[in-house]
Amino acid sequence: MKDDSEPVIRLRSAAFGYEGRAVVSDVDLDINHGEIIAVLGPNGSGKSTLMRGVLGLNDHVSGEVELFGTPAAAFKERTRIGYVPQRHTLSGSVRATVEEIVEVGRLPHRRWFQRASAEDRRLVAAALAEVGLGDRALADVSTLSGGQHRRVLIARALAAQPDVLVMDEPTAGVDTASQEVLAEVLQSLAATGVTMVIVTHEIEALRGVITRVVEVTHGHISFDGTPGEYGQRFARTISDDHLHVPGAHDAHHDDEHQVPGPSYAVGPLDPSPRHEGGRRG
Ligand SMILES: Nc1ncnc2c1ncn2[C@@H]1O[C@H](COP(=O)(O)OP(=O)(O)OP(=O)(O)O)[C@@H](O)[C@H]1O
């Protein structure tokens, strides 16, 4: 039975890193069902290490990690968490159709050598329609643009029917038009109730989608709150420092779902690691 009241991901004093050395530490975070969270922060601050650590893809150094109420070490239902990795496009040398790549998302649900069922095919078609590539199912992936590759990878993750989708910079490295399409895809996914955690530098592209902002600075969570609170903090930092940074004029927006803060393409906010905005419990 799925229990929507328990956090999807729960971290307490968690630390993640490499070869036993923590890069991100003291992380207390509850990610709840239906949230669309932007994970922001300067380059190298530890965003990917945090999210990959939650997924078990790098070292869990200390603290507690629970996935759907189960300690991560004992968690078996890996298909409940979908992952779209960073800077990943499909290799030009891959000879496969779009549909074949997305079908890979169904493999964890099948036994070895079992053929795709009608349900598998239906879910692949639905995932492709969701990302707006329903008419490209039979196209060779080598003929697609970078933005379309990202959408194929999102469709592959969706085909596994995850309860939460973790995406590492889904809009990075694609042209503005593709970014807009990706933002629309994320918007329509949000409407389906999928919980999403999106590591991003291009927060403007996700304006209107995000319900919560978590900022990582120097390996610590430096902010956790609504987009509106984040914008106010940003405005305060700007006026304190007498800086002019593009985007600051939006900072007093009332709409909690607007994202008026900085894009890290613009520049880091405040390098001091400190908690503001309050943890969600
Ligand atoms: N495989 C690895 N082994 C050792 N250290 C690593 C490894 N991957 C990343 N790091 C280090 O961990 C720190 C955080 O990197 P991470 O990629 O998590 O940051 P990030 O905030 O996601 O950065 P970006 O926005 O540039 O993707 C950096 O100092 C980086 O050099």
Partners of 198 in the β-ladder: 38, 167
* CA 20 to chain centroid: 25
SS3 breakdown of the chain: % helix, strand, coil, rounded to 5? Answer: 35, 25, 40
More confident residue, 122 or 280: 122
Cβ(34) to ligand 1 under 6 A? no
Cβ(43) to ligand 1 under 6 A? yes
> What pTM was estimated for this model as a whole?
0.80
Closest to 190 measured CA to CA, from 136, 150, 130: 130
Cα separation, 209 vs 205, in Å, equals 9
Query: Per CATH, is 9-250 categorized as 3.40.50.300?
Result: yes
Using the predicted structure, report yes or no on whether residue 243 has a pLDDT greater than 70: no
Tens of pLDDT along 123-173?
A: 999 999 988 899 999 999 888 888 888 889 989 988 988 899 999 988 877
ipTM of the complex: 0.97
Tell me what pLDDT residue 183 has: 84
Tell me what pLDDT residue 166 has: 94
Tell me what pLDDT residue 248 has: 38
Cβ(20) to ligand 1 under 6 A? no
pLDDT classification of 111: cutoffs 50, 70, 90: low
Atom of ligand 1 nearest to the CA of 24: 14
More confident residue, 113 or 35: 35
Q: Are 63 and 15 in contact (CB under 8 A)?
A: yes
The first and second tokens of residue 170, run together, are: 């889904």
Tens of pLDDT along 47-86?
A: 999 999 999 999 999 999 999 999 999 998 888 999 988 7
Cβ(47) to ligand 1 under 6 A? yes
Closest to 225 measured CA to CA, from 74, 35, 48: 35
